[in-house]
Structure 1
């Protein structure tokens, strides 16, 4: 994990992968934040089988690279529309010897359906946009999950008005050293039985 953070900070000097420059802030606000979902996600998936993960709008690999480091049994694909960010993830995967981490330079709405077990985003878009653009990539027994700060009621209302997806569960996340709200928002297709 330290190797990933070092790579992120090194590349950030040239490619502006994150607005944060201070190593301690990167550790807390990016790495610890991404680590906070490991437990809740692990609870949903049986161990011993390969899980396909699509990290939408991954940027510098958050949370995708962190998931790949912590869960070597998961196959993680980080998708971003900015080529320099996907190039960084490819480089980091090579340097850190993470064969389970790949990146793809494409807009998520143009990507052919992925049939992923988990489609996740962190600080990517509103719930409506995230579900509109990414919902088609969720496999038949998969999950669509958004990492959020404070969940705005307006965002939930807009999602409900749209009518295709709804909020199934909101899990509070505990991020060490971070004095801010974080949550994991589990979405489900309206009319589809939640597996």
Structure 2
């Protein structure tokens, strides 16, 4: 099932989070369109399809992490807030840490955390290499780094119970195949519901720290 209409994307998200989530994300949508003139947070061509291209594309990751998971959920290279801000909106009972090193984007994330009243969300304005090690229940990353580099940088946050949900577009299957055998067995590719050409790398477990 591929969802390409804004109205269907809103309905899907409403089923997950209700009216409160929709109101918070409507606020985010408005602010994002304003901020995009100041800094290029998202491709301008995607502004007319925010609910599909960014909100639903983020929300769908919740399919692969059980509802009872408490966190922390680490979102690496959060950028404009996808998927981190959307996930924190839809899972108020779970704790999220959004990691971003670029100053303007950190400022943006902190502003939206406050305006959206996301009390379960922490913004970590630092390079990932400098973030204190914590045991993450879930790790996500959207357009952060090639898979092998992503895993190398984030291995120290993972445990045997960590869920990995990594949107990767059309390169997903190939990136998994290119991993060493032990790691490639940990992951598989799920079909995105926002694009027939996009995949999500999903896995669970401890990635060996190669340092």
TM range (shorter): 0.7 to 0.9
Instruction: Indicate whether 1:181 and 2:181 are aligned.
Output: no
Instruction: Indicate whether 1:4 and 2:19 are aligned.
Output: no
Instruction: Indicate whether 1:60 and 2:83 are aligned.
Output: no
Match of 1:34 in 2: 58
**Could you tell me how far apart the structure 2 residues matched to 1:100 and 1:33 are?**
21
Structure 1 residue 125: Cα displacement: 1.2
Match of 1:19 in 2: 43
What runs of 5+ residues in structure 1 fail to find an aligned partner? none
User: Against the structure 1 CA distance between its residues 186 and 153, is the aligned structure 2 distance closer, same or farther, given a 3 Å change threshold?
Assistant: closer
More strand by share: 1
1:65-121 deviation line (CA, Å, top 9, x unaligned): 000011101111111121111111111011111111221111112212121101110
Higher relative contact order (CA 8 A, sep 6+): 2
Match of 1:74 among 91, 94, 107: 94
Whether the 8 Å CA contact 1:52–1:117 is kept in 2: the answer is yes
User: Against the structure 1 CA distance between its residues 4 and 186, is the aligned structure 2 distance closer, same or farther, given a 3 Å change threshold?
Assistant: same
Match of 2:113 in 1: 93
TM-score using structure 2 length: 0.77
More helix by share: 2
Equivalenced residue count is 183
TM-score using structure 1 length: 0.82
**Structure 1 counterpart SS, 2:81:** coil
96-105 or 182-191: which moved more? 182-191
